[in-house]
Amino acid sequence: MNTKPYLTAILFLGLCLFSYGQSSLKISEANKPSKSKTVKFLPSKFMISAQIGYGYRIAPTPKMKHCLSFGADFSYFFTNFIGVGIKYNAVVPHVGINNILYLPSGGDTKYYYFSELTNIHYFAPLIATQFFTIPRKQCLFASAGAGYVLYNNQKKEIANITKHSAAFLAEAGYDFFVNKYFAMGLQTSLFVELTKRRWSDVENLTHIDISFRFRSSNW
């Protein structure tokens, strides 16, 4: 009995089944849904932010304790967590009083508007730290530094005083990323005057700020 035709048919059938199985496996793998990946906002080496908010002069001072606070800073991060930067901050307390009585010698009694405006400007290098959550849509940060303070007090028609000092800065806050380029948050900053006052007409410059923060990074 000649078995060659049967063996040939069996081999041909086996090759067909094997080829069909391999093709089906490839099609099945190709049709599998891909796993969704969590989008992470990887931190950039460069970061710039701006702040605006409320300042309170916590040092013993009889007037102008409440003021507008604003500022900006730029940082470069060596790693994802630590870097260096430079910061500018200003607080601008102002007071205005109407109907101040003025009695000039040998003249008529007058009433006038009294205005006093104080500007406290802070410039300094800083050490910056940040910590990102997972996914990286939130960030906790803190920084510290010490630098130069410029004080200017303008009393309408009375005096204009400008002095120089130094202060220490410590701040901390929270950012939430709206997208990978822009974040919004809150921060608290403490400025402590380091130098002793050498003039009697200038009050202590120590103050604390609570500000809204706008941050841009990941360019």
For 10-21, write each residue's pLDDT tens digit.
555 555 544 555
Mean pLDDT of 32-45: 53
Query: Does the pTM exceed 0.75?
Result: no
Contact yes or no for 115/156 (Cβ under 8 A): yes
The pLDDT-based confidence of 37 (bands split at 50, 70, 90) is very low
Residues whose CB is less than 8 angstroms from the CB of residue 156 and which lie 6 or more positions away in sequence, other chains included? 113, 114, 115, 116
CA atoms lying within 13 Å on the CB side of residue 20: 6
| Cis peptide leading into residue 62 (ω within 30°) | no
Torsion of CA 94, 97, 98, 100, to 10 degrees: -140
Helix segments in 1-153, DSSP class H: 4-30
Q: Which of 24-28, 173-177, 201-205 has the lowest mean pLDDT?
A: 24-28
